[in-house]
Amino acid sequence: MSDPAIPTPAPEATPSGRRRALVTGASSGIGAAYARRLAADDWDLVLVARRVPELEALAGELEERRGVGAEVLAADLTDPDGLGRVEQRVRDDPALELLVNNAGFGTTGPFHESDLARQTQMLRLNVEALVRLTHAALGRMVGNARGEIVNVASGIGLMPAPFFATYGATKAFVVSFSEALAEEVAGTGVSVQVLCPGLTRTEFQRVADTDISSLPDFVWQDAEEVVEASLEGLRRGTLVVVPGLKNRLPLAFRGVVGRTLVRKATGFAGRRGWLRSL
Ligand code: NAP
C-alpha cells in the first residue's frame, strides 16, 4: 500500500493529452458500444478482439468521426501468445486509465453433453484472461492513485444457472472477484466495477447457439443502454451495476424467493428447451 505522505506522480499523458482505455471484445456488441461511447467522451482507445476487419472498421470510424486515437490489437485471449501480448500492452502503458474486461462468451445445454474443450476455452476467456489483465493493470493504477477497471459479468452470475452451468459459474467468479478487489483498493484512487447485464441484443445469443429472439422487446436492452449504465455507475462509484429496472426488479425478487426456487425454475425451463429457443 502506498504511503499517503508521499505524493504519487501523475500518470504519463498520451501524446494527444487524452486518457486511454483498453476494451476487450471490441469487435461487436457491448465492447463496440463501449468504444463508441468512450470515443465520444474523447478517450483514446486500444481495441482488442480476434476479428481484424471489424476492429479496423471501428478504429477507422472512431478516428474519422471522433478524432481520437484508436489502436487495433488483434489477439485471441484464450491463446497464451495472444493473451501475453495484451497483458504486456496493459502493463507497459502508463497512460492507460481504464480497462474494460468485456470479451466473453457462453454456451447452453446440459453440461455432461457439452464439448469439454469449449467449456475450458470459456474458462480461459471469461476468467483467466480477465484475472491476468486486471493484474497487469492494477498495480500501476494503484501506484498512480488513479484508474478504473470494469469487469463485465452477467445477471446470471448472481444466481444458479442450470443449463448455463459453466457460463454462470464464470460470471459468478467475476462478480465475487470484482467485489473483493473493489474493497482491497478502496481509498487508493482506483475503482473497480462489475457490470451485470441482462438480455442484450448483440452477437452473444448466436455464439451461444440459442435462439430466443422471439422473446418480447421489453425484456431486451441495447448495448448502448448497458454501456450508459456502466459509465453512469463509474461516475457515481457504484460497484455492482445491473442496467435497467427490468433487470434489477427480478433480481430483488430473487432475494425473496431464494436461490432454490430460481434454480428449480431455470432447470424446468432448460429441460423443456426454452433456454435454447423460444
Ligand atoms: P458479442 O457481441 O458476442 O461480443 C463478444 C466479444 O468478445 C466479441 O468482440 C468477440 O470478438 C470477443 N471475443 C470472443 N472470444 C474471444 C477471444 N477468444 N479472444 C478475444 N476476444 C474474444 O457479445 P456481447 O453480448 O457483446 O458480450 C460482451 C460481454 O457481455 C460478454 O462477457 C458476455 O458474457 C456479457 N453479457 C452479455 C449478455 C447478452 O445478453 N448479450 C448478457 C450478460 C452478459 P471476436 O469474435 O472478434 O474475437
Q: What domains sit in the chain, N to C, each tagged with a CATH number?
A: 19-277 (3.40.50.720)
What are the angstrom distances between the C-alpha of 43 and each of 21, 67, 111, 148? 7, 10, 41, 13
Which one of 43, 163, 164, 167 is the catalytic residue?
167
Q: Is ligand 1 within 6 A of the CB of residue 76?
A: yes
**Span 101-122, average pLDDT:** 97
**Span 168-174, average pLDDT:** 97
34 included as an active-site residue: no
Q: Is ligand 1 within 6 A of the CB of residue 135?
A: no
Output Rg (C-alpha) for the chain, integer angstroms: 19
Residue 44: what pLDDT? Answer: 98
| CA of 27, closest atom in ligand 1 | 9
| CA of 167, closest atom in ligand 1 | 34
**Cβ atoms of residues 259 and 267 within 8 Å:** no
pLDDT tier for residue 6 given thresholds of 50, 70 and 90: very low
Residue 277: what pLDDT? Answer: 64
Residue with cell 448466436: 206
Q: What angle do CA 23, 29, 32 make, to 5 degrees?
A: 40
**Cβ atoms of residues 24 and 101 within 8 Å:** yes
Which three three-digit cell numbers place residue 216?
418480447
pLDDT tier for residue 97 given thresholds of 50, 70 and 90: very high
Q: pLDDT tens digits for 195-212?
A: 999 999 999 998 998 888
Q: pLDDT tens digits for 227-269?
A: 999 999 999 999 999 999 988 988 877 766 778 888 888 888 8
Q: 207 alpha carbon to ligand 1 midpoint, in Å?
A: 9
Distance CA 90, CA 70 (A): 15
Residue with cell 480477465: 130
| CA of 24, closest atom in ligand 1 | 21
Which three three-digit cell numbers place residue 164?
448455463
Tally of residues, the chain: 278
Beta strands, E only, the chain: 20-24, 44-49, 70-74, 96-101, 147-152, 190-195, 200-201, 221-222, 240-241
Residue 275: what pLDDT? Answer: 76
Q: 32 alpha carbon to ligand 1 midpoint, in Å?
A: 10
Distance CA 225, CA 207 (A): 21
Q: Is ligand 1 within 6 A of the CB of residue 104?
A: yes
Q: Is ligand 1 within 6 A of the CB of residue 204?
A: yes
**Span 24-48, average pLDDT:** 98
